[in-house]
Amino acid sequence: MDEGEPVCVTFTYHSDISGNLDSKISADSELLFCEMVQKARYGGVFNVEKDGCPVGNYVLGKTNEPPFEYYLKSGRYKNRTAAYRASKSIPKISKPYKSVWIEPLSINKGQFNVLILFLKPESAMRIIQAYSYLEGKQIKINTLGAASVCGECIAKPISCGIGASFGCKGSRKHSKYKNTEVPIGISFEMIDKIEEGLENTPDTWV
């Protein structure tokens, strides 16, 4: 990353939380999930149950209602059918949790669920090559330009190990990461494999 640092996202469950930790949970935040991630790049720390985005709350499993009405009113889709199809197609976390920690890598205690990086395309390509190094598998980028940071870079890596995204209108508008950056999410279990791939694949000269 050229600016800021990678962001760790950690889900905590009721069995993980002591009374002391529970007191540090904010019931919700007016910030969008992607905004909190962006602030964490530069030192911000959050521990919340819900965020201020109806799409984020659906993707992160805090509501079971797809954001159909929100998408319909947004003007991003031609009609009700398209809006409904879009709202049902975004990835979603299924395992219930108590809260989500969002913090920079430098202060994380060494355990997290997903690491989010904001990379220039060439650096993102290196991550993808590193992923493919061991088994030659492709990263399947399945996107509709929505639910980028929360869905494609959090929910998808939890189920598939890695998720790459081109961003979405909401995250680029509200969290304001650069047009030259693409977000990538990597699950904790995949980190060592990615590092091995980076160490053993050729550098790319641009």
DSSP result, 140-190: -----SSSIIIIIIIIHHHHHSEEE----HHHHHHH---TT-EEEEEEGGG
d(CA 60, CA 72): 20
Beta strand pairing call for 114-119 and 7-12: antiparallel
Domain boundaries, the chain: 7-200
Structure confidence by residue, pLDDT tens digits, 16-58: 544 444 445 565 678 999 999 999 999 999 999 888 899 999 9
Give the Cβ contact number of residue 7 at 10 Å.
29
Please tell me the pTM assigned to this model: 0.89
pLDDT value, residue 18? 45
Structure confidence by residue, pLDDT tens digits, 135-167: 999 998 889 899 999 999 999 999 999 999 999
